[in-house]
Structure 1
Amino acid sequence: MNNQIDYVSEINRLKKEKNAVILAHYYQRSEVQDIADYLGDSLALSRIAAETDADIIVFCGVHFMAETAKILSPDKMVLLPVKEAGCPMAEMVTDLRLKKYKEENPDVKVVCYVNSTAKVKALSDVCVTSSNSEKVISHYKGEKLLYVPDKNLGTYLKEKFELDMDVWKGFCCIHNDVTNEEVLKAKKMHPNAQFIVHPECQLDIVKMADYVGSTKGLLEYVKNSDCQEFIVGTEKGIIHQMELSCPGKKFYLLTENLACYDMKLTTLRDVYYALLNEETKIEVEESIRHKALKSLEKMFEYTDR
């Protein structure tokens, strides 16, 4: 019987009944992207979560994203359709290890990639996303910094801005595995294509790119570029939006390995049952939420200048 449910219609019905809004990251399955009220990268979705007047936020993403929504909107119900959807990189820095580092380095400011837990954000001075990291971190030139948890984006920023910054050793399992050989092979196969890449890739890969940017940045770049072909060096989910936004242009995924298991866990069925049963709620302890909020608000302060 369940396989006869029209999930799209039922999701839309429940949204209206419950005053719910669906947020989805660009790396979600195409059909999940298509039913979202708002689609975006981490920065865009965090802003929407902070500003929505909906009673329920259904976050189609991974745990740290839904947690961030709850930090910004404590009075809203935040549902993560698949509570097991996590981010390995976010788990590569723990609050206990970060606290120990801070005790040993009391003068260091902690810059925290938003791909992190609420407990880690609570110990940080400011958050960044891949969209705004350059703008935010430019305010900290001349200070002693620690960047957590992504070593690749951190190293990219450290070199670009000549920062006095320690970099944690975390990484995105998907982006970190991209190889020079894969890039060279793709460029040989598609000689007229530009190579665009996410800064979560390793620095030698980033230096081979025609454009480096967040998922939103990559999408805007292909929209505005005169080039007609692109080799895409980030998670495959973004290609759905690129193809919708740029009919006639061609997009080649650098490697089929660019697929995030956790981002692909959420299905329409999961979204439906999350709305129906309201059982996959995300909660953040108030003392942690309050401290984590400060690091996010500092990010918005610098971004909005």
Structure 2
Amino acid sequence: MPLASASSVLERTAPLYNRVSRFIPAFEWPAYADDIDAILRLKKERNAVILAHNYQTPEIFHCVSDLVGDSLALARMAQDSDADVIVLAGVHFMAETAKLLNPTRMVLISDTNAGCSLAESITAADVRALRLKHPGVPVVTYVNTSAAVKAESDMCCTSGNALAVVESLGVPKVIMIPDEYLAQNIAKQTDVEIITWAGHCEVHERFTPNDVRDMRDAYPGVVVLAHPECPPNVVAESDFAGSTAAMIKYVADNRPQKVVLLTECSMSDNVAVQYPELDFVRPCNLCPHMKRITLGNLRHSLETLTHEVLIDPSVAEPARRAVERMLAVR
């Protein structure tokens, strides 16, 4: 890039750098600035929006994204968007959910290998087998699943509304798939009997009760917030458990001077931007799938309109119904 051009890019992106300067050294910023500047231009040209999950890195979350949040928030935002192109800065099942709710719009994901251990833990055939084993029992499916699995389900849920979804069905027993720990944590909060599936998140399953105790010893007074995909014994050791949106709300409402978020580590960086006065302890469990999304491949995705997410209509229709039933639960 010519020197004058590089200088103008840095000037245009300087306000964005101010947002993330605690996490990106100044000497590294030029390596980010060109892609960020190009992405901002391409979004205008394409009438595109970028939806970013809370686990994206700060330069994506705070510098190029239009809408940010957890999976439930992104599902609702996707439905409300009037953009021609939706780019999902997250994993593949999230892009499929955006496509389900926006069937006439182009939905892109910049790396098709951005998967999810939970989504890969169960298939549509597995759901059909569960129905045969438990006839008449409704299936509640976590959104961290493929469209094919959603299509075999009665209703979807997220970690933020799972309890409300389970209880909205008004039945004594449900099948809740695929996250075993989420289902076990919800079961402790309801009289509904929950049949589980042995799927786990490769990030959250690594946390242990000893981790929590060690952090309390190392950082006296730390407030521990756990994601409900963590094992139940980890949730029991924590001060609060909730979805990523619920964690953020807890921080906003309570302003704990020292806090640890037991979830994917980029989220702490993103929340810390909003609350620089708080001390975030960072146990760094990375999601390898979320980290496949980069500024470079987001730029390439907008330049070339790849990779488009397409869903077979015979799958999309029942999967959409399951998601829409979820969205109707408040």
The alignment's TM-score, normalised by the length of structure 1, stands at 0.95
Q: Is the 8 A contact 1:219 1:241 kept in 2?
A: no
Q: Which has the larger radius of gyration?
A: 2
Secondary structure at 1:27 match in 2? coil
| Counterpart residue number, 1:25 | 53
Given the superposition, is the C-alpha separation of residues 72 and 180 from structure 1 closer, same or farther in structure 2, using an over 3 Å criterion?
same
In the alignment, is the contact (CA less than 8 A) between 1:107 and 1:144 conserved in 2? Answer: no
1:12 aligned to 2:10?
A: no
Aligned to 1:270: 297
Once residues 170 and 266 of structure 2 are traced to their aligned partners in structure 1, the CA distance between those partners, rounded to angstroms, is 34
> What amino acid is the match of 1:154?
A
Pair 4,112 (structure 1): closer, same or farther in 2 beyond 3 Å: closer
Instruction: Look up the equivalent residue of 1:25 and give its one-letter code.
Output: H
Q: 1:105 Cα deviation (Å)?
A: 2.2
Unaligned runs of 5+ in 1: none
Alpha-carbon distance, 1:104 to partner = 3.0
Q: CA deviation at 1:30?
A: 1.3
Which of 54, 57, 76 aligns to 2:86? It is: 57
**Alignment of structure 1 residues 36-185 onto 2, 5 Å:** 36-185=65-214
The answer to which of 139-148 and 229-238 deviates more is 139-148
Instruction: Please say if 1:243 is aligned against 2:272.
Output: yes
CA distance in structure 2 between the aligned counterparts of 1:22 and 1:222, rounded to whole angstroms: 25
Identity across matched positions, percent: 36
Instruction: Give the Cα–Cα distance (whole angstroms) in 2 for the partners of residues 175 and 263 of structure 1.
Output: 14
The whole-number CA distance in structure 1 between the counterparts of 2:210 and 2:36 is 41
How far 1:8 moved relative to its partner? 1.0
**In structure 1, C-alpha distance between the alignment counterparts of 2:260 and 2:286, rounded to whole Å:** 15
C-alpha displacement of 1:141? 4.6
Secondary structure of the corresponding residue to residue 317 of structure 2: helix
Compared CA separation, residues 189 and 107, structure 1 to 2 (3 A)? same
Q: Which runs of 5+ in 2 are unaligned?
A: 2-30
Residues 108 and 6 of structure 1: is their aligned pair in 2 closer, same or farther, counting only changes over 3 Å? same
Structure 1 residue 51: deviation in Å?
A: 1.3
1:186 pairs with one of 211, 215, 225: 215
- SS in structure 1 of the partner of residue 291 of structure 2: coil
Residue deviations 1:102-155, cap 9 Å, x none? 123221100000000001101111111111112222223543210000000001
Q: Aligned-residue CA RMSD in angstroms?
A: 1.4
Pick closer, same or farther for the CA change 1:45–1:4 going to 2, 3 Å.
closer
Per-residue Cα deviation, 1:6-34 (whole angstroms, up to 9, x for no partner): 11111111111110000000101111112
Give the number of aligned pairs.
300
Q: Is this contact kept in 2: 1:118–1:289, CA < 8 A?
A: yes
Q: Judging changes above 3 Å, is the alpha-carbon distance between structure 1 residues 50 and 188 closer, same or farther for their aligned structure 2 residues?
A: same
Q: 3-state SS of the aligned residue for 2:135?
A: coil
* Equivalent residue letter for 1:59: L
8 Å contact 2:222–2:258 — kept in the other structure?
Answer: yes
Q: Distance in 1 between matches of 2:33 and 2:274?
A: 30
- CA–CA separation in structure 2 for the residues paired with 1:111 and 1:286: 21
Please give the secondary structure, in 2, of the residue aligned with 1:160: coil
Give the one of 243, 255, 258 matched to 1:229: 258
Native 8 Å contact 2:212 2:238 kept in 1: no
The answer on whether the counterparts of 2:57 and 2:270 sit within 8 Å (CA) in structure 1 is no
Q: 2:248 aligns with which of 209, 219, 224?
A: 219
> How far apart, in 1, do the equivalents of 2:170 and 2:180 lie?
18
Runs of 4+ that moved beyond 4 A: none
In the alignment, the residues of structure 2 paired with residue 131 and residue 116 of structure 1 have an alpha-carbon distance, to the nearest angstrom, of: 16
Asked if the contact 1:223/1:245 (under 8 Å) is kept, the reply is no
Quote the offset at 1:4 in angstroms: 9.5
TM-score by length of 2: 0.88
